[in-house]
Structure 1
Amino acid sequence: MRAKYVNPFTDFGFKKIFGEEASKPQLIDFLNALLPPINKIKDLSFKNTEQLGQTEADRKAIYDIYCEAENGQKFIVELQKAKQNYFRERTIYYSTFPIREQAEKGNWNYNLSAVFCIGILDFTFDDYLASEHKDEVLHTIKLKNQHGKVFYDKLTYIYLEMPNFRKSEQELETRLDKWLYFIKNLEDFQQIPSIFKETVFVEAFEKAAIANFRQAELDSYEASLKIFRDNKAVFDYAQETAYNEGRTAGIQDGRIEGIKEGIKEGIKEGLQAGIKEGLEQGRKNAVIEMAKAMKTKGLPAQTIAELTGLSEQEINQI
């Protein structure tokens, strides 16, 4: 069945729903569902993302949305479709741009506005976040000291692990639940679910409806969708290849370790057998030397046999 709505995990789809001037109500509602009440947004303005980068290389890897609230709070929002090396480091690096741009010429007291970096991830972390909180969707991170006390509360990193969001329509409880359900399932909807009757969601569906696109928009979306599918295919192939190679290497390493353990056990058993045999041979040699001394003293072979346990034949051969 042909999709009725855009895939929000494409660059075009995400920006169509949240990143255009006409999409402010949707972005504001989504951010307010995500943020604490104290940071509630009344209005915002979009800023040119190229203002974040100081070099051409910077501007090629900028976040999808950069905006500023009426109270000066700054928001960087990105939809991250696949894992990248040093993803967290890149997040931290780009969070410095809206901090640095607040510097004023002349005398300045360094009073900064809050900065929020929000990553909507179409994958899960495979590090400590995943191991400790593998089923959680929302991760909110601040700068804290060794006692867990917030040292600076104006820099916040928020990550949403979308694969961990598994709620059905009947299980949705919060405003954020609705938005996550909307983002994750939008491309599969054939009609607007009953939970999305509010204006802000109805308008989001209208913006996402492929039938409403002009030809230029449709061409842009198709190109964006192709890139998304190609990247996903490459990523899935890389994952499968890594798994198979890891499995093969694991089997090979297991065999090698098995051989090593076998050799180790063999050496151990050999040593034990050798020690036992050595002790037996040593005891036998001592008995023979004792028999020699008795024989020198002229004791009869029968008596020597009784005292040493050797046979008379063995004694006569000494």
Structure 2
Amino acid sequence: MGFIDPKTDFGFKRIFASPNSRPILKSLLNALIYDGQLRIQDLEILDPYQQPEIPDFKLSILDVKAQLDDGSTVIIEMQVAKVEAFMQRILYNTTKAYASQLGRGKYYWDLRPVIAVTITDFILFDDPEVDQSLPISRFSILNEETHALCTSQLRWIFVELPKFGKDLVDLEGLVDRWLFFLQRAGELQQAPPELTSDHDLQSALDIANESQLSPAELRFFEAELDRLRVMQGQIFSARDEGLAEGLAEGLAEGRAEGLAAGRAEGITLGAKQRELEIARELLKTLDPETVSRVTGLSIEQVQDLAQADDP
């Protein structure tokens, strides 16, 4: 038996949002947000994880959400595949979490900071001017000329796991240990001392140990892994089909303009049509929010599909 992969929704929620996960999540956020400094003394998990009784994929998968001891809200998301409008969705979720604080009887001065922590299993920033060796990027709202901080109310932290290339023997400090855990825990067959020397990482490995799963939970986890592989394959296939259709249309025109236009239109229309087909199929077993997250379609588009297909 090994360990469940924290890059899966099941694994991430079980490890970081279970009833005993508060110290573990606090340690992870100190590493990712504050570069290992112990700035967060306490937090409250706002959406505690509850495992469904059967693996029917009807569980509405939400980001792990926590409130820090200074009143700040942190939303944490793990994303294994890059989808369309990914950055727009991150910005929407952050600003939505910020605006949702202002309920009846609340005032602007009641608004507390929101920090969005996004962990990706793909390269998000591939600009050659950006240091590709840094797996963690932290952003705030700054003055474009002077880079002076405008406000600390909104912050974004992006963790690109493929940019982390250290092995166990090279780990230095809390940040490295958590990055290794997120990236490689699913490959481990036993708990390494380089991680277990830290109490919180030892606790995370204990929760992630597959031997601690019930038969139903293990079936759910294995089914999710299979589902992720299938969905990722469908998305890649849709993009390839769109490219092929675009090339065929452009070549048929026999002109350079037709080729360029065919490529652009074919890629867009072919991929879009295929994504809609995939979304229709996934709606048979998944909720609209999860389908939106996987395919990159907006939640409104997915809901329209669900309503249109509803007999």
Structure-2-length-normalised TM-score: 0.68
Asked whether the 8 Å contact 2:32–2:136 carries over to 1, the reply is no
Name the structure 2 match of 1:112.
Answer: 111
Do structure 1's residue 24 and structure 2's residue 22 form an aligned pair? yes
Q: Tell me how far apart the structure 2 counterparts of residues 178 and 9 of structure 1 sit (CA, whole Å).
A: 15
Asked whether the 8 Å contact 1:80–1:120 carries over to 2, the reply is yes
Asked whether the 8 Å contact 1:141–1:158 carries over to 2, the reply is yes
Asked whether the 8 Å contact 1:67–1:74 carries over to 2, the reply is yes
CA distance 1:38–1:136, shift in 2 (3 Å):
closer
Name the structure 1 match of 2:95.
Answer: 96
1:8 counterpart letter in structure 2: P
Asked whether the 8 Å contact 2:120–2:159 carries over to 1, the reply is yes
CA distance 1:192–1:48, shift in 2 (3 Å):
closer
SS in 1 for 2:154: strand
Name the structure 2 match of 1:140.
Answer: 138
Name the structure 2 match of 1:160.
Answer: 159
Task: Give the % identical residues.
Answer: 28
How many residue pairs were aligned? 242
SS in 2 for 1:77: strand
1:57-96 Cα distance to aligned partner (Å, 9 max, x none): xxx9874201111221100000011111111111111112
Name the structure 2 match of 1:149.
Answer: 148
Q: Tell me how far apart the structure 2 counterparts of residues 115 and 256 of structure 1 sit (CA, whole Å).
A: 51
1:176-210 Cα distance to aligned partner (Å, 9 max, x none): 11001011111111111111122211211111111
- Unmatched 5+ stretches in structure 2: 49-58, 257-311
Which consecutive segments of 4 or more residues in structure 1 shift more than 6 A?
none
Deviation at 1:12, TM superposition (A): 0.4
Name the structure 2 match of 1:229.
Answer: 229
* Cα RMSD after superposing both structures: 3.2
Name the structure 2 match of 1:218.
Answer: 218
Name the structure 2 match of 1:41.
Answer: 40
Do structure 1's residue 201 and structure 2's residue 201 form an aligned pair? yes
Q: Which has the higher contact order (CA 8 A, sep 6+)?
A: 2
CA distance 1:172–1:213, shift in 2 (3 Å):
same
Name the structure 2 match of 1:266.
Answer: none
Aligned pairs for 1:246-265 (under 5 A) are: none
Q: Tell me how far apart the structure 2 counterparts of residues 244 and 23 of structure 1 sit (CA, whole Å).
A: 44
- Unmatched 5+ stretches in structure 1: 50-59, 258-318
2:213 counterpart letter in structure 1: F
Asked whether the 8 Å contact 1:103–1:110 carries over to 2, the reply is no
Structure number with greater Rg is 1
Q: Tell me how far apart the structure 1 counterparts of residues 25 and 88 of structure 2 sit (CA, whole Å).
A: 25
Q: Tell me how far apart the structure 2 counterparts of residues 107 and 70 of structure 1 sit (CA, whole Å).
A: 20
1:138-197 Cα distance to aligned partner (Å, 9 max, x none): 111111112221111121011111111111112211211100101111111111111112
CA distance 1:61–1:208, shift in 2 (3 Å):
closer
Q: Tell me how far apart the structure 2 counterparts of residues 35 and 103 of structure 1 sit (CA, whole Å).
A: 25
